[in-house]
Amino acid sequence: MKTAKDYIIFPLDLPSQQSAKEYIRLLSGEVGMFKIGLELFIEAGPDIVKYTKSAGPSGIFLDLKLHDIPATVSRAMSRVAEMGVRFATVHCGENREMLKSAVEGSRGKTGVLGVTVLTSVSAEDIRTAGFREEYASHLSSLVLQRAAAVKECGCAGIVCSGLEAGKVKEKFGKDFIVITPGIRPAWAISGQQNTQNTQNTDDQKRVVTPLQAIRSGADYLVIGRPIRDAENPKSAARRVVAEITAGLPESAGGH
């Protein structure tokens, strides 16, 4: 049965390999997966994937957001699949052949996820980029349009805001995986969290609480700053687990 901690993906968006390893050691087994992004992967390469796998039971979400010609993406995803990660990302972009090539390259070993609209992107950003007004006024329309392409190309699911998770699940079914960044626990949003860094550097514009995202249909939640910046990250992770557990029905691991 899926437990509350299985929902949590902790992003290793950290300045060095050393600090990433400290968080891996601290949180392995406390969260369902670790997200390894572009910054860390460029510094540490596949070795950080191997280290994370050896540290404990938490899975790996390799978030490189591949975006290139289909042949290159296929070969890159083939290498990713050999690392044994659970999920890997590809930008939806404008080319469905790229998405199909990513799925072919994964050979069923790694779930390919399409990145629809980054949670740091606002309606004005979409408008400025030259998209039609219908997409700028309703970001969910763009997410759903890209999700349809992802589904048709055989990908496992998408990355999208929790604000769109419900519509995606309703349209594409419960087996279509949805990972949502921009998650802030209720206690973090209310300003009750005691952090080491009080400066507001949050670049997420479309955020929801863990329960809001899960009730909308999110399968996994990327939760970074509220855990990373806490005085005791392990306690913060357990606090998020408690918040999720308290709100889930008994059949889904709640009380």
Which residues are annotated as catalytic?
A: 65
CA neighbours within 13 Å on the CB side: how many for 204? 20
Contact 118, 204 (CB under 8 A): no
Instruction: Please report where in the chains the tokens 């289909």 appear, as a residue.
Output: 70
- Token pair recorded at residue 229: 């910046």
Angular region, 56: left φ>0, alpha ψ -120 to 50, beta rest: left
Which residues face 195 on adjacent strands? 230
**Where are the strands (E) in 58-180, listed by range?**
59-66, 87-91, 111-115, 157-159, 177-180
CA neighbours within 13 Å on the CB side: how many for 41? 18
Q: Which of 69, 210, 206, 220 is nearest to 156 (CA)?
A: 220
DSSP for 124-144, written as a single string? HHHHHTT--HHHHH-HHHHHH
Q: Which of 3, 11, 1, 40 is nearest to 222 (CA)?
A: 11
Q: How far apart are CA 12 and CA 38, in angstroms?
A: 10
Q: How far apart are CA 243 and CA 134, in angstroms?
A: 36
